[in-house]
Amino acid sequence: MATTAEELREQVRRRYAESARVVSEGTGTAGCGGGSCCADGESDASLFGEALYDAEQRDQLPETATLASLGCGNPTAVAELREGDTVLDLGSGGGIDVILSARRVGPTGTAYGLDMTDEMLALAQQNARDAGVTNVHFLKGVIEEIPLPASSVDVVISNCVINLSVDKPAVLTEMARVLKPGGRIGISDVVAEDRLTPAQRSERGSHVGCIAGALSKGEYEAGLDAAGFEQVSVEFTHEVADGMHGAIVRAVRTSSPELKGLPVVQPAARAGCC
């Protein structure tokens, strides 16, 4: 059993690398063991992955992009993407949300995907080529240290990945850093009811199964507020385990961080950008 943050991160990386290999080699219908890595035998696989995208969206995608979908929602359906936006997908996996976002923001916009797994990045790049989208860039890195400059992104999306992070306050702070003032997030994630303790969440599923590491609704709201977001909402959409829900998380980066006592981050290049 993984006990340290690095061990947990490596466990997640191995799990998703194997998922990418299964899809790339055509030896499985989807993700981990024929279903979403998040489902992992702990909850109904229909609550995760490609089933959460409508037929019209799936028709716009290469088959390997839909087969590699391992999320718990459809962030592109709630993120209010606009023509010309720069959008960043945290934990972009096989690229399904990056490809859909690239089409939504159009040729004047840009879609970035960030993932720590070489196998997923290679699969995503191939999927983007097969989909014929050119306004995409895939970056290798961890979501706790986003390799993009400050105030460079209009929208951050993510699909069932933040619950897997080993340092969630760092992720929320990094989202605020890379977003422009007034920038917004549209995130799908697994979120616990406030009544559940961390130990009770662990009883309902593993960390790599997207359950044990989930924040509670109150923790998410407080974390986003502390990171410099306003208009925060966490809306449950469907139950994936007892007291654990797929959820839509929305917020806007405050346009006046100094009024909340937050540091004003100046735009500066980060290592590994682009």
pLDDT tens-digit series, residues 214-245: 999 999 999 999 999 999 999 999 898 999 99
What is the average per-residue pLDDT within 168-180? Answer: 96
d(CA 248, CA 233): 8
In a domain? residue 142:
yes
In a domain? residue 274:
no
In a domain? residue 153:
yes
Residue 124 in contact with residue 130, Cβ under 8 Å?
Answer: no
In a domain? residue 210:
yes
What is the model's pTM?
0.81
Neighbours of 97 (CB within 10 A): 31
Q: Judge residue 147's burial from the number of C-beta atoms within 10 Å of its C-beta, 0-12 exposed, 13-18 middle, 19 or more buried.
A: middle
In a domain? residue 266:
no
Which of the two residues, 29 and 95, has the higher pLDDT score?
95
**How far from 273 is each of 86, 110, 147, 149, 177, CA to CA, in Å?**
14, 14, 5, 7, 14
Q: Domain containing 138 — which CATH number?
A: 3.40.50.150
Helices (H), 117-234: 118-131, 168-178, 198-203, 217-227
Residue 79 in contact with residue 184, Cβ under 8 Å?
Answer: yes
In a domain? residue 121:
yes
Measured in whole angstroms, the distance separating CA 90 from the mean position of its chain's CA atoms is 4
Domain total for the chain?
1
Pairing between β-strand 110-115 and β-strand 86-90 as defined by DSSP bridges: parallel
In a domain? residue 238:
yes
Task: Write down the mean pLDDT value for the chain.
Answer: 80
Q: Judge residue 6's burial from the number of C-beta atoms within 10 Å of its C-beta, 0-12 exposed, 13-18 middle, 19 or more buried.
A: exposed
- Give the domain extent around 249: 5-260
**How far from 96 is each of 20, 106, 155, CA to CA, in Å?**
13, 16, 16
Structure confidence by residue, pLDDT tens digits, 105-132:
999 999 999 999 999 999 999 999 999 9
Whether the predicted pLDDT of 270 surpasses 50: no
In a domain? residue 20:
yes
